[in-house]
A = this chain, B = another copy of it.
Amino acid sequence: MTEAAGGGRDAESVSKFVESFAAQLVEAGMQRMAARVFAALLSSDKGVMTSAELGEQLQISPAAVSGAVRYLAQTHMVSREREPGSRRERYRVRGDQWYEALTNREAVLKRWEAALREGVSSLGADTPAGRRMAETLAFFEFVEGEVAAMMERWRERREKMFGA
């Protein structure tokens, strides 16, 4: 059997998934350690791990875990939990965490929009460049609204497929 004793899954399968999924995330622009930590959490049995467990499994220093987790928490990819009555912190990923993360991309969009508005008004709305930027701006505004609606639909569908 590939199942080891002591409640572990096949450590090699897990590691293989972790590294290959992390690699995809890195390629899409995520920091390497953050990607690995996220993948490890995603493939963990409970979806929760302590800093020590992460460092152990990924063979990285506490400092690296700390940095990765800070990034992931900022971008809402994981949530931190203070285990009550212990100085241990636990990091959790839920199945619908991507929903959260994507929703928060909105802040980025907002900043892009601000920069574009600035550009339109400083170059002049009646210039060719101004019109081009205005169109870009309109596209972003459109996407922003659509994403919100899309997320609402996902909520409904998710509830049906996976329950609450």
**Chain A residues within CB distance 8 Å of chain B:** 9, 13-14, 16-17, 20-21, 24-25, 27-29, 42-47, 93-96, 98-99, 102, 108, 111-112, 115-116, 118-119, 122-124, 127-129, 131-133, 135-136, 138-140, 142-143, 146, 150, 153-154, 157-158, 161-162
Contact = CB atoms under 8 A, between A and B. Distances in A.
Given A95-B135, A143-B150, A157-B142, A45 B122 contact: no
A116 B138 CA distance: 34
A95 B131 contact: yes
Indicate how many identical chains form the complex. Answer: 2
B21 A116 contact: yes
Given A47-B132, A111-B24, A99 B139 contact: yes
Give the 10 A-B CB pairs with smallest separation, nearest first: A95-B135, A29-B29, A17-B119, A21-B115, A95-B132, A13-B122, A146-B150, A43-B129, A24-B115, A24-B111
A42 B136 contact: yes
Contacts of A16: 122
A86 to B, nearest CB: 23
Contacts of A42: 119, 129, 132-133, 136
Nearest to A23: B115
Q: Which of A129, A133, A162: most chain B CB closer than 10 A?
A: A129
